[in-house]
Amino acid sequence: MCMKQDVSFEKFKNTVLIYGAHLVAISAMRYLKQKRPDVMILGFAVTSIKDNPQELDGLLVKEISEWPKEANPKDVTAVIAMPKKYHEEVKKTLLEYGYTDVVCLDLYELSALIGEERIKKMRSLGFDVRKSENDISWLDLYIDDIHLKFPTLFYIGDEEIYENLDRARIKSSYESFISSKGVLEKNRCGSRTGFDDGKIFMACSEWDEKAGSGDFAPWIKPLQLGAALSERTVADITDDCGENISALNRSFAEMTGAYWIWKNENSLKYKGLCHYRRHFVFEAEDDFCCGEADVILTTPRYVPGGVEEMFLVETPVKKPVMEALKKSTAKLYGEDVKKKLEKYLKENFYCPNNMAVAKNEIYNSYCKFVFPILFEMKKQDEKAVYGHEGDRHIAYAAELLTSFYFYFHKDEFKTVFRDYKMLQ
């Protein structure tokens, strides 16, 4: 059985192998070192070394077939540290190689373990930080009258993070990120404009069987993405009708939905996108359109080390993708816009998940800016035979462009930031 977040590290054997090579894996390794400094951590195991780092924090990353040579699997606790959807498959692999003591941790289980200690540490440094009721993998950070999201897990070591935390610097960075017109507070959004004036299309897939029958707010409209690649229909609206790029869903992910909204829905005052398991949190029914607002974005995330570095380490936006992003931006919009993009990538804030709601003409302008870059990146992938069409790197690049676009045009729009709730 895979153990849950009440895992007892005291029961671990004296030798541990971490299965995984990304943020959850490195965070599990660091946390284990803190809890059990007497344990010897062999290193990190992966199914294939291709596209994985060679080492993490000085420990080797090797294919699972190599590790039984280093230690008898029966004497090792194997910790699966990766998204839950891979756990059963990886557990079978470990059993085949003789590992019988297996512990599973995913992002949320590890975040629950680490989050409490992160809160204690940051409060000792004078920060008002709290557990999030909406998404356990991020903490709520309050500085004066602003609300930010702070990561529970870092790719940078804890000591480096804490040494560089400074309230004034974080606040200054935030203020350079937001609109000069000001961020509208939740109680200053004006009167309701009516449900008929706005819809948020909820990205869902063939795997989300309840998407078409869920108990959602009246302004939520399920939109099945990748419908051109599926034989099942789970929503009344699908992204393969009208003008669409549904067939690109494996690399464009939720952005095939954004494209469909851009090209096929122009009768609403407000329109935008959320996800099947990520919904904007509104305070009341009459808070949806926010009267005075031009744009609604997710609450900004503070990322220590800068946006570019975080994406390079934690997402499929590796160096070739980042280079293609910058090159495509320069080709389409010139060196000046590319330099502004590069400047933004050094910032410490972004709005996640390509979740944006805006007045119709603003949403269209945003898409008109973003999609030519994404299509140019796809062309560069094809010329370079990049070979990662299914890893959603285009969608992650779009996440950067979404934040950049609204940052680039921040002085033109009145913006509302809203948290999102992670639904199970």
Q: The domain that contains 361 carries what CATH number?
A: 3.90.550
Residue 372 has pLDDT above 90, yes or no: yes
Q: What is the mean pLDDT of residues 206-227?
A: 81
Query: Who wins on pLDDT, 35 or 285?
Result: 35
Q: Which of 105, 123, 156 is the last residue of a domain?
A: 105
Please indicate, yes or no, whether residues 76 and 220 belong to a single structural domain of this protein.
no
Examine residue 145 and state whether it is found in any structural domain, yes or no.
yes
Query: Who wins on pLDDT, 91 or 213?
Result: 91
Please indicate, yes or no, whether residues 301 and 397 belong to a single structural domain of this protein.
yes
Q: What is the mean pLDDT of residues 218-230?
A: 92
Q: What confidence category does residue 9 fall into, taking pLDDT thresholds of 50, 70 and 90?
A: confident
Please indicate, yes or no, whether residues 413 and 303 belong to a single structural domain of this protein.
yes
Cα-to-chain-centroid distance, residue 269: 28
The H or E element that residue 80 is part of is strand 76-81
- Give pLDDT, residue 132: 94
Ramachandran angles phi, psi of 55, nearest 5°: -155, 160
Where is average pLDDT lowest: 278-287, 332-341, 373-382, 395-404? 278-287
Closest CA to 401 of 334, 358, 353: 353
101 vs 90: CA distance, rounded Å: 13
Please indicate, yes or no, whether residues 138 and 206 belong to a single structural domain of this protein.
no
Letter string b/e over residues 229-249, b meaning 16 or more CB atoms within 10 A of that residue's CB: ebeeebbebbbbeeebbbebb
294 vs 416: CA distance, rounded Å: 8
CB 144 within 8 A of CB 134: no
Please indicate, yes or no, whether residues 258 and 371 belong to a single structural domain of this protein.
yes
Q: What confidence category does residue 284 fall into, taking pLDDT thresholds of 50, 70 and 90?
A: low
Q: What is the mean pLDDT of residues 270-280?
A: 92
Please indicate, yes or no, whether residues 22 and 125 belong to a single structural domain of this protein.
no
Residue 164 has pLDDT above 60, yes or no: yes
Residue 277 has pLDDT above 70, yes or no: yes
Mean pLDDT of the chain: 89
Please indicate, yes or no, whether residues 345 and 371 belong to a single structural domain of this protein.
yes
Q: What confidence category does residue 190 fall into, taking pLDDT thresholds of 50, 70 and 90?
A: very low
Residue 283 has pLDDT above 50, yes or no: yes
Cα-to-chain-centroid distance, residue 235: 24
- Give pLDDT, residue 52: 81
Please indicate, yes or no, whether residues 195 and 266 belong to a single structural domain of this protein.
yes
- Give pLDDT, residue 38: 94
Residue 192 has pLDDT above 50, yes or no: no
The pLDDT > 90 percentage for the chain reads 67
14 vs 249: CA distance, rounded Å: 45
The pLDDT > 70 percentage for the chain reads 90
Please indicate, yes or no, whether residues 92 and 121 belong to a single structural domain of this protein.
no
The domain tally of the chain equals 3
314 vs 52: CA distance, rounded Å: 11
C-alpha R_g of the chain:
22
Q: Which of 60, 84, 105 is the last residue of a domain?
A: 105
Q: What is the mean pLDDT of residues 125-143?
A: 95
Q: What confidence category does residue 382 fall into, taking pLDDT thresholds of 50, 70 and 90?
A: confident
Please indicate, yes or no, whether residues 411 and 329 belong to a single structural domain of this protein.
yes
Strand partners, 62: 45
Examine residue 382 and state whether it is found in any structural domain, yes or no.
yes
Q: What confidence category does residue 183 fall into, taking pLDDT thresholds of 50, 70 and 90?
A: low
98 vs 104: CA distance, rounded Å: 16
- Give pLDDT, residue 314: 87
Please indicate, yes or no, whether residues 291 and 374 belong to a single structural domain of this protein.
yes
Please indicate, yes or no, whether residues 129 and 241 belong to a single structural domain of this protein.
no
- Give pLDDT, residue 292: 74
Long-range contacts of 407-413 (CB under 8 A, 24+ apart): 407/177, 407/344, 407/347, 408/337, 408/340, 408/344, 410/177, 410/178, 410/179, 410/180, 411/179, 411/180, 411/181, 412/294, 413/179, 413/181, 413/294, 413/295, 413/358, 413/362
Q: What confidence category does residue 182 fall into, taking pLDDT thresholds of 50, 70 and 90?
A: low
Where is average pLDDT lowest: 96-110, 252-266, 288-302? 288-302
Instruction: Residue 210: count other Cβ atoms within 10 Å of its Cβ.
Output: 11
Q: What is the mean pLDDT of residues 371-375?
A: 98
Examine residue 91 and state whether it is found in any structural domain, yes or no.
yes
The Cα-based distances of 297 to 183, 223, 242, 293, 420 in angstroms read 11, 19, 27, 11, 10
Residue 53 has pLDDT above 90, yes or no: no
Q: What confidence category does residue 290 fall into, taking pLDDT thresholds of 50, 70 and 90?
A: low
- Give pLDDT, residue 7: 67
Query: Who wins on pLDDT, 34 or 328?
Result: 328
Examine residue 202 and state whether it is found in any structural domain, yes or no.
yes
What three-state secondary structure class fits 37?
A: coil
- Give pLDDT, residue 385: 76
Ramachandran angles phi, psi of 241, nearest 5°: -105, 160
Six-digit token string for 78: 């194997």
Cα-to-chain-centroid distance, residue 338: 23
Examine residue 171 and state whether it is found in any structural domain, yes or no.
no
**31 is in which domain, residue-wise?**
9-105
- Report the CATH number that the domain containing residue 99 is assigned in CATH: 3.40.50.720
Q: What is the mean pLDDT of residues 205-234?
A: 84
- Give pLDDT, residue 198: 86
Q: What is the mean pLDDT of residues 115-140?
A: 94
- Give pLDDT, residue 309: 94
Q: What is the mean pLDDT of residues 169-184?
A: 78
377 vs 122: CA distance, rounded Å: 40
- Give pLDDT, residue 379: 94
